[in-house]
Structure 1
Amino acid sequence: MNVILKYFIICCLTFSFIKVKAQMPVKNLDYFLKQAQSSNPVLKDFENQKRSAGIDSLIVRATARPQVTASGAGMYAPIIRGYGYDEVITNGQALEALLNVNYDLLNKKRINNQLEGIKIQSDSIKYADQLSLYDLNRSVADQYITAYASQVQVDFNREVVTLLKKEEQLLKTLTRSNIYKQSEYLTFLVTLQQQQLVLKQAELQFKNDYATLNYLAGITDTITTKLAEPKLEAEIFKNNQFFFTKRFELDSLKNINLKNGIDLNYKPKLGVYANGGYSSSLVLQPYKNFGTSVGFTFSVPIYDGHQKKMQYDKLKLSSNTMTSYKAFFLRQQNQQLNLIRQQIVQTDALFGKINEQIRFSKGLIEVDSKLLHTGDLKVADFIIAINNYMAAQNLLRQTNINRLKLINQYNYWNK
């Protein structure tokens, strides 16, 4: 009875282990991209900057309304033994408490220009936010591809170790039957041990690459899970370079806004004001010194040493510099995209030849394995066949990873 119970428990535990292993979560690229976006402080900073720009717009609109201030002042200038300020100037003492209202009558265009400047600033923040997001996605995707390549390397090395272990048991039996020499068995055993070390190194590399991926995504979890194969396809070439050239458009709009601001500074300014309250020297009937006043202010620039032209010249230099940068960037971007497309095409052309080499190498291993079972093959030849198969598989993986990274770069520049 105890034996049956023990057997039942072992079966349950084994089934549970298999079930848990089968249900091991698989994380894909989208998971890490979303985690990176939600935890990245730079993106949150840009979000706060956009909100701050909205508040700046409200502040500018508030300055367009009449401005009301309250002011107060008091003064006493004593004369001691004939020494003191001249009472004709100071009246000896004064007390003032006023409520002032000021309003700029010609401020509409200035306010609109300031609001336009804030809108350009807000668009620049949005652009920087999107650029930061693209950079983050590219970095995370590139590291995900690297980690996935390490995972595939581990799986392949584990497959090779399993194959070698299986053949090692057979070779041991054949060596004991004097079909193979002891030296040949030891040579095969050394190869097996080397491959086991390679597997350990691959597992360590995968853990490091996975940890780096978590670091970039802002994930603190130390548990390593299986990564899904990244699904990346090259986007259709749009041939307009809209996103990356938008920064030059924003700079151009900024220059136009600054030029309009310069023009407005040389326009006439007209304002009105009114105040009411108490203002007295406290000398004659101070209880009657309550009153009010209204007035206006007007100013128009006449000559400032040609500063306006100098500011125009600075803006023109800035515009010329921006034009040069834009032309250079467009040439570089087109060259970059053409180069990456060419590399993708050349990489795709390799897959057929590599798969053919893998097929022949795998077929050779199967034939050599049968010959090994009958003792009609040298162990060294079997090891060479395995090495050739491993080299072909490594080349396939590396080529595929290079293709994915090229696509990642291509999609980044083809926004």
Structure 2
Amino acid sequence: MNIKLRCLFLYLAAFWTVGAGAQPPSKSLDYYLKQAEFTSPVLKDFQNQQRSAGIDSLIVRATAKPQVTASSAGMYAPVVSGYGYDEVLTNGQALEALLNVNYDLLNRKRINNQLEGIKIQSDSIKYARQLSWYDLQRSVSDQYISAYASQEQVGFNREVVTLLEQEETLLKKLTRSNIYKQSEYLTFLVTLQQQQLVLKQAELQFKNDYAILNYLVGISDTTKVSLADPKLYLTVTATGPGFFSKRFDLDSLKNINQKKAVDFNYKPKLGVYANGGYNSSFVLQPYKNFGTSIGFTFSVPIYDGHQKKMQYNKFSLSSETLSGYRSFFVRQQQQQLNLIRQQLNQTEALFPKINEQIRFSKGLIEADSKLMHTGDLKVADFVIAINNYLAAQNLLRQTSINRLKLINQFNYWNR
């Protein structure tokens, strides 16, 4: 009996460190992150939006070149018995077929500002895509940690049930030999049945967590897998402006770009044009009505009810609002990081206490095993010692999982 009890303790003590490595891992966190990035329609959407912005840039550059158009128009106004349009006004009939060329001479700065606006838009899309990826990465990592914890719980509970089943067989024989009472055997049997139910619950929880992980990633996988240790580490704290502050910089640049666009609307506009072709009323020598013309257009705004000043006021309000959001977010981000650091420090402080509790539980089981050998210990007391040891091991595992989730949160905000 003493040997069996010692084997029980050794199995329980060793499971936390080597039980999960009994089977080689088949899939890791990196695998699921790559699958999530590959299957995400949102990331593909942002990628296509960036390509579309590149096409918009080409369109704007094309508008800076001379614009050539072909146009044609014909008209016939019949006069019957003296009734009809005045031929002095209509000439009775007309036909034109022209090739027109238009070119804006003062559009270079305006075009450059439009190109700058498209670049800012492209950078905003790139930022949104990266933010979406970080959000997806955080969600997948968090769910992977939950699924990994459920897997570890299943393995631990399965090992405990196996060992208790072995002890139950031996205890049954000792009970039949009147070394232990029937009530003590039933007490141990209840503990075994409870652990069997806990194992079933753990298996269901793992299936659910694993199904959610596949759902987030966007894959369908019903095969039995073994999840590897996530192995997350804290990232180095950023010293300069972080990733999240970039969105405020982009909004500020967009505001400046739109203000420049308003300025260009109040600049003089000068354009030239030329056309050539056929234009005739067929009244006199229509075969000679082939020709050409050139000209220019010029305009300058003088008064529009102070709309420019009103637009400027809107941009000032937008800048003020943006500054408020930036300051609030910086404070909020720092508070979030400080809170996670505090939680991590508190979590780290639990490990020595938990390990000490495990050590005490181990000593108690060793002492109880000697008493069990002589029949001087109640089975209920031995069950309590086992449960205390299991509780300590579960607490160690849960604390380790919480630590991984805190690291995942910290790495997300510390960008």
Shorter-chain TM-score bucket reads over 0.9
Name the counterpart of 1:173: 173
* 8 Å contact from structure 2 (residues 134, 412) kept in 1: yes
Aligned partner letter, 2:217:
A
Which amino acid in structure 2 is aligned with residue 304 of structure 1?
D
SS of 2:318 mapped into structure 1: helix
Greater CA deviation, 272-281 or 231-240? 231-240
Residue-by-residue CA offset, 1:145-167 (whole Å, 9 max, x unaligned): 00001011111111211221121
Residue 343 of structure 2 corresponds to which residue in structure 1? Answer: 343
Map of 2:7 onto structure 1: none
Partner residue, 1:121: 121
Equivalences, count: 395
Find out whether 1:255 has 2:222 as its counterpart: no
Q: Which residue in the other structure is 1:42 paired with?
A: 42
Distance in 1 separating the partners of 2:167 and 2:369: 8
Q: Output the amino acid matched with 1:27.
A: K
Indicate how the Cα distance of structure 1 residues 228 and 124 shifts in structure 2: closer, same or farther if over 3 A, else same.
same
Alignment of 1:226-375 (within 5 A): 226-375=226-375
- Corresponding residue of 2:160: 160
Partner of 1:381: 381
**Deviation at 1:196?**
0.5
Give secondary structure in 2 for the equivalent of 1:26. coil
**Alignment match, 1:16:** none
3-state SS, counterpart of residue 222 of structure 1: coil
Where does the alignment leave 5 or more consecutive residues of structure 2 unmatched? 1-20
Superposition TM-score, scaled by structure 1 size: 0.93
Q: Which residue of the partner structure matches residue 11 of structure 1? A: none
- What is the letter of the counterpart of residue 382 of structure 1? F
- TM-score, scaled to structure 2: 0.93
The Cα shift of 1:187 comes to 1.6
* Alignment correspondent of 1:83: 83
The Cα of 1:372 is off from its aligned counterpart by: 2.4
Aligned residue number for residue 220 of structure 1: 220
Question: What's the counterpart of residue 62 of structure 1?
Answer: 62
Give the stretch that moved more between structures: 336-345 or 85-94. 85-94
What is the match of residue 13 of structure 2? none
* Post-superposition offset of 1:184: 1.2
1:163-202 equivalences in 2 (<5 Å): 163-202=163-202
Distance 1:278 1:294, change over 3 A: same
1:80 deviates by: 2.3
Cα gap change, 1:241/1:411 in structure 2, threshold over 3 Å: closer, same or farther?
farther
Alpha-carbon distance in 2 for matches of 1:309, 1:145? 55
How much does 1:239 deviate? Answer: 4.0
SS at match of 1:227: coil
1:323-343 CA distances to partner (integer Å, 9 max, x unpaired)? 000000000000000110111
* 1:408 and 2:389 are equivalent in the alignment: no
Q: Is contact 1:67–1:101 with CA below 8 Å preserved after alignment?
A: yes
| Partners of 2:311 and 2:295 in 1: CA distance | 34
Segments of 4+ moved more than 4 angstroms: 21-25
**1:191 to partner: Cα distance:** 1.1
Which stretch shifts more, 354-363 or 265-274? 354-363
Kindly, what percent of the aligned residue pairs are identical? 80
Aligned partner of residue 273 in structure 1, secondary structure: strand
Let me know the Cα RMSD of the aligned residues. 1.4
Residues 210 and 224, structure 1, Cα contact 8 Å, conserved in 2: no
Aligned mates of 2:91, 2:188 — CA distance in 1 = 114
For residues 80 and 183 of structure 1, do their structure 2 counterparts lie closer, same or farther at Cα, with a shift above 3 Å needed? same
8 A contact 1:241–1:414 mirrored in 2 = no
Superposed, 1:390-405 pairs within 5 Å as 390-405=390-405
Contact 2:145 2:230 in 1 (8 A): yes
Choose 193-202 or 81-90, whichever is displaced more: 81-90
Following superposition, the deviation at residue 41 of structure 1 comes to 0.5
DSSP-derived class of the 1:125 partner: helix
1-structure distance, mates of 2:193, 2:131: 49
**Contact map agreement 1:27 1:226 (CA 8 A) in 2:** yes
Map of 1:24-35 to 2, 5 A cutoff?
Answer: 26-35=26-35
Q: Secondary structure at the match of 1:283?
A: coil
In structure 2, distance between residues paired with 1:30 and 1:40: 15
2:25 and 2:228 in contact (8 A); partners too: no
1:364 to partner: Cα distance: 2.1
Name the aligned partner's letter for residue 358 of structure 1. Answer: I
Q: 1:44: how far off? A: 0.4
Shift of residue 252, structure 1, vs aligned partner: 0.6
Paired residues of 1:207 and 1:224 also in contact (CA < 8 A): no
Aligned-residue offset at 1:276: 0.4
**CA contact 1:174–1:375 (8 Å) conserved in 2:** no
- Residues 79, 85 of structure 2: 8 Å contact kept: yes
- Partners of 2:326 and 2:115 lie apart in 1 by 27
Change in 2 beyond 3 A, CA 1:143/1:227: same
Give the superposition deviation at 1:25. Answer: 5.0
Q: In structure 1, give the amino acid aligned to 2:168.
A: E
**8 Å Cα contact 2:138/2:409 also seen in 1:** yes
Distance 2:238 2:149 in 1: 30
Whether the 8 Å contact between 1:273 and 1:295 is mirrored in structure 2 is yes
